[in-house]
Structure 1
Amino acid sequence: MSAPVPGHWRSVLPHLDTPMPPDLTPPGTGRGGVQVNLPMELVRQSVQQREYWPIPAEVATAYARYRPTPLWRATGFERAIGARVPVYVKYEGGNISGSHKLNTALAQAHYYKKAGIKELVTGTGAGQWGTAMAAACALFGLDCRVFMVDSSLRRKPYRGVLMRMLGARVHSSPSGLTEVAARHRTGTGNSLSLAIGEAVEYAATHEGAAFCIGSGETYSILHQSVIGMEARSQLAALGAEVDAVVGCVGAGSNFGGIALPFHAEARAGGAPAPLLVAAESATAPKLTRGVYAYDKTDATGSGPLEAMYTIGSDYPIPDAHSAGLRFHGAAKLISALRHTGDLAATAVGQPDALAAGRLLTTHETVLPAPESGHALAAAARLATSGTPDGDTVLSARRGVLVCVSGHGYLDLGAYEQLLEGALEDEAPADAALLAAVSGLAPVRPAVPAGAGWPR
C-alpha cells in the first residue's frame, strides 16, 4: 500500500509528560555537553519543543528513491501463527543499506556537509548503520570510516565489501588504530560500545572528521518518524486500525520511528495511544532487566553521561545473531518514555526471533533481519496468547503493526544455524547484571536542569 512521502519529520518532545533528565558531566573529566562538531540543526532537533521539522529538499529527493516503503496485511503470517487479530507489516529493507538506517544517515550527511565536515566516522554492530552511512556519504560527497564489531564482520564479511564498494574505509573492532581499543582489547570482539568508542576517539583526533551515530540520539529518532507517519496514512487508506505497534530495540531508532508518531498523534488529539511494545534481545535486556541510571554511551566515556535503561556499558554482552540489538542501553528518549509508562517492553531469545523470521519468509516471501525477527516474535505473541512485560501480559484486540526494520540476505548464516538446530541463548545471569550496574548513579524522579554528578 503506497502513501505520500511525508514532507516533515514529527517530534514527540512536545508530548512528553515530563522533560527528559539532562545529560551529566562524568566526574573528573571536565567534559560533556554537545560536541563542537555536531551541527546545530541536529542540536535543535534534539532539544526544541517543536513538533514538525521540514525535511530538506536534498534529503527528500534521496528519500524518493526508496520511499514510501511497503505496508501490507500479513495474512500468511497470521495463518501460520494462528492470529486472533490482523498483523500489518511495515518493511524498511528495500534500500541499499537493507534497513531503516538510511533515513537518518541521509539527513545527517546533509547537515554535516553543510557544517563543513569532510569525513564521517562511525561504529556499527550488524553493519546496517555502517552501510547506510557509507551510502549517504557517497551521495553527499563525504569520506566515510566505519569501525565494525569484529564478530559481526567475520560472520558477515560482505557487509564490509558493500561498505567498501560505497567508498568507506572499514576497520574490524577492536582495531589497532585507537587507544580505547588497546585498553579494552581482551574479550571485546562483540562490543558495539567499543566500536562506537573507537569511532569517537578517531574522529576527535583527526582534522575535518566528525563522529556520527545512527540510533540512540534524539535527532536520529526524529528522522525515523517518516516510518510511522507513512504507516498511519497507509493504514487509513486500508481502513485498518491497530491497537499495538511493535519494533525491535537496540538503542531505539526503528522502534521510535514506527511507534512515536502514533503516540504524538494520540496526545495531540487527546485520544488513548496504542500499546507501544519494544522488543529487545534476551542477551541485552536493558528495558526488561536493566536499571534507569546515568551511563556511558560508548567505551571511551568521553561524552556526557545519559539517563538510560542500561545493563552497564562494561557488561560483556554474549555473542548472538541479534548484532544490531547488542547494545547495553536504550536511547534516553526511549528510556524516558519507558520510565513514565508510555511504552512496554519484552525480551525475545534468538531461537524464537529467527523462527519468527522464518515464518515471515515462508508465508510472506520476505526474509527479515534477525533483529527484525525479535519484533515479529513479539507481534506474534501479541496477536495470539500475549507477551509478558514484567508481571503483565500484553495482548492486542484490534490489530498489530510491526516494523520489519531490515532484510536478512546477509544473515543467512544465522538462519542456517536455525535450520540445523544449533541456535542457543545466553541470557545474562542476575548476579552479572547486578555487578555491571552497581557503580551507576540512578536517575532520581526529578533532576534540576544543569545539575552536576548526582550525590
Structure 2
Amino acid sequence: MRKYVHLQEVPKSWYNVLADLPFKLDPPLDPETNKPMTPEKLLKTFPQPLLEQEVSDKRFIEIPEEVLNEYYVFRPTPLIRATFLERYLETPAKIYYKYEGVSPTGSHKTNTALAQAYYNKISGTKTLYTETGAGQWGSALSYAGLKFGLKVKVFMVRVSYMQKPARKQLMNLFNGEVVPSPSNLTASGKKYGEDHPGTLGIAISEAMEKVLEQKNSKYALGSVLNHVLLHQTIIGLEIKKQLEKLGLIPNVLIGCHGGGSNFGGTILPFIPEKLSGKNIKFLACEPKSCPTLTKGEYKYDFGDSVGFTPLLKMFTLGKDFVPPKIHAGGLRYHGAAPIVSALLKNKLIEAEAFDQNETFQAAKFFAKVEGIIPAPESAHAIAGAIKEALKAKEEKIEKTIVFTLSGHGLFDLAAYV
C-alpha cells in the first residue's frame, strides 16, 4: 500500500544534526599546516553559502524557494509497505521502504545536486567539476546544472564508465560532459594511467585539480561533507511525517553506506529521539569488498587519492585503497562522512558488511516480489532489511523496519545477468 505525504507537507527546511550532537566533530585540517582549514582556502573550492552550511550550528536551515520548486517535481517520495516481501519472509515485522528512485535521475543524489547547483549559481560559479562512481551523482549534478544554467564536467570511475554506458548517456542528455577516470586530462590521472580501474578518490583528485587551476569553477561533492548530508535529511524528515500519519514508530532504520549521504539523510532526523533514550537501531549496510565502517581505521585522512582535499577525521581504509570492481560503484569509496564516522565511534549507529552474492540475491528476490529493480548500492539496504526481518521472525517480535531504497537499477541490468 503506497503512502504519500501531501505536497504542502514537504519539509521547508533541512535538519542540521550538528545542533544536537553531544560531541563536537574534529575540524578539517590543512595538509600544509596540519591546523584547522581556513575559510579563505576553502572558498577556492566551494561557494560561501555551502561553507556556511558546513559549519552551521542552526538546527534547521531553510530550503530556498527555487530549490523547493525543483523538489516538487518528485517530492515527496513514497513510503511503501513491502507487504509481498513480508508475506514471503513470513515475518511478524512490518517492512517499509522509502523510494528515492522516482527522482528525475533515479536516485537520492538529486536532493543535494539541486541545492549545490543553486548555491553555486547565486555565487557566480560558471562551471562545476565533480566525480562519480556508478553515475548516479554525475547524472544528478548534470540535471541540476542544466536547471540552474551551469556547465557540469564529470570524472567517472573507469570501471563504472565501462560497466554502465547508459549513465554516461544520461549525463550527456542533461548536457553534462563525462570522461573516464583516470584520464589523460590531468596530472593526477596521468599518474595512474588509463589501464587503472579507477577509484572515487582518484576521480576526486582529477576534479579538484581542474578547479584549482581554473577561474569561476567550483567543486561539487555527492557525499561525505556535512552540507551534503544536511540536504539529504529531507529523506528522513519525510519518513518521520509519513510514519506519524500511519501511527508508527520505527524500531530499525537502514540505509546502504558508501560515503554516507543516503544513510545519513535517512537516520539523522531521528538522532534526537535516540539521544532521548528511544530504542531505535540505525544500521549502515556496506560491501565486504569496501568495508570502510566495519574494517576501517578512525583517523585523519585525505578525501582523495592525490592529497588535494583537506584532511578529514573519519573511518577510512586509506586514500590509496583500491576496491574490487564491484557493480555497486557508488559504494567504492575509501572513507566515510565525518558525521557518520563520529556517530559510529560514539556507538549511536551500527554497521554491517555484506558480500556481493548475498546482496544480489536479496536484490533479485526483492525485484521479483515487490516489482522494483534496485540499484546495486540500494541492494545492500535490502539485504540488511531481510536479515532484520528474519531475526524478528526467529524471535517472534513485531517491529517496524524502514529502509531507504536510494535508487532504481534500470541502468544496472548488466549486473543482474
Q: How high is the TM-score relative to the length of structure 1?
A: 0.86
User: Which whole-Å deviations, capped at 9, do the CAs of 1:320-374 have from their partners, x for residues lacking one?
Assistant: 0111000001111110111111110000111111111112211111111010000
Is 1:124 the counterpart of 2:132? The answer is: yes
Give the 3 Å change call, closer, same or farther, for CA 30–332 of structure 1 in structure 2: closer
**Distance in 2, Cα, partners of 1:178 & 1:395:** 57
Q: State the alpha-carbon separation in 1 of the partners of residues 397 and 183 from structure 2.
A: 46
Structure 1 window deviating more from structure 2 (169-178 vs 201-210): it is 201-210
- Out of 377, 381, 400, the position equivalent to 2:387 is 381
**Contact preservation (8 Å) 1:124, 1:192:** yes
Structure 1 counterpart of 2:28: 23
Q: In structure 2, list runs of 5 or more residues that go unmatched.
A: none
Matches within 5 A, 1:223-238: 223-238=231-246
Q: Which among 17, 36, 43 is matched to residue 36 of structure 1?
A: 43
| Alignment match, 1:10 | 15
Are 1:295 and 2:301 counterparts?
A: yes
Deviations 1:122-143 (A, max 9, x none): 0000000000000000000000
> 1:354 maps to which residue?
360
Q: What is residue 342 of structure 2 aligned with on the other side?
A: 336
Amino acid in the other structure paired with 1:325: L
Report the residue type matching 2:403 in the other structure: V
Check the 8 A contact 2:182/2:194 in 1, yes or no. Answer: no
Distance change >3 Å, CA 318–CA 212, structure 1 → 2 = same
Aligned counterpart for 2:264 among listed residues 256, 260, 266: 256
Decide which of 81, 85, 99 is 2:93's aligned counterpart: 85
2:375, 2:408 within 8 Å by CA — same for their partners in 1?
A: yes
Decide whether the 8 Å contact of 1:311 with 1:328 is kept in 2: yes
More divergent stretch after superposition (193-202 vs 57-66): 193-202
Tell whether 2:322 aligns with 1:316.
yes
Alignment of 1:368-407 (within 5 A): 368-385=374-391, 398-407=399-408
SS class of match (1:188): coil
Relative distance call for 1:273 and 1:103 in structure 2 (3 A) is farther
Secondary structure in 1 matching 2:117: helix
Q: CA deviation at 1:46?
A: 1.6
1:80 deviates by 2.5
Following superposition, the deviation at residue 190 of structure 1 comes to 3.4
Deviation at residue 264 of structure 1 after TM alignment: 3.0
Question: Matches of 2:153 and 2:329 in 1, distance apart?
Answer: 19
Mapped partners of 1:265, 1:39: distance in 2: 33
Q: CA deviation at 1:242?
A: 1.5
Partner of 2:141: 133
Structure 2 equivalent of residue 430 of structure 1: none
Q: State how far apart, in whole Å, the 2-side matches of 1:343 and 1:228 are.
A: 15
> 1:17·1:340 contact (CA, 8 Å) conserved in 2?
no
Secondary structure of 2:391's counterpart equals: coil
Q: Does 1:204 align with 2:212?
A: yes
- Asked if structure 1 preserves the Cα contact closer than 8 Å seen for 2:184 and 2:193, the reply is no
Q: Does 1:408 align with 2:409?
A: yes
Q: Larger helix proportion, structure 1 or 2?
A: 2
Q: How far apart, CA to CA, are the structure 2 residues paired with 1:241 and 1:358?
A: 29
Q: How does 1:93-242 map to 2 (within 5 A)?
A: 93-185=101-193, 188-242=196-250
Aligned partner of 1:375: which letter? Answer: A
Q: CA RMSD in A?
A: 1.9
Alpha-carbon contact 1:246-1:375 (below 8 Å) kept = yes
Partner Cα distance (1:358, 1:95) in 2: 22
CA contact (8 A) 1:33 1:303 kept: no
Q: Give the Cα separation in 1 of the matches to 2:397 and 2:233.
A: 23
User: Is the 1:190–1:318 Cα contact (8 Å) retained in structure 2?
Assistant: no
Tell me: CA distance 1:408–1:26, structure 2 relative to 1, closer, same or farther (3 Å): same
**Residue 205 (structure 1) shift:** 1.2
Partner of 1:45: 53
The secondary structure found in structure 1 opposite 2:125 is coil
Q: Conserved in 1, the CA contact under 8 Å of 2:256 and 2:377? A: yes
The runs of 5 or more residues in structure 1 that have no matched partner are 387-393, 417-455
Identity over aligned pairs, percent: 40
Q: 1:187: how far off?
A: 6.0
Contact 1:190 1:319 in 2 (8 A): no
> C-alpha offsets along residues 46-76 of structure 1, whole Å, 9 cap, x if unaligned?
2121111110000000000000001011011
Aligned pair in 2 of structure 1 residues 397, 251: CA closer, same or farther (>3 Å)?
farther
Q: CA deviation at 1:396?
A: 7.7
TM-score, length of structure 2 as denominator length: 0.94
**1:26 Cα deviation after fit:** 2.1
Q: Which residue of 2 aligns with 1:443?
A: none
Counterpart secondary structure, 1:109 = helix
Deviation at 1:232, TM superposition (A): 0.8
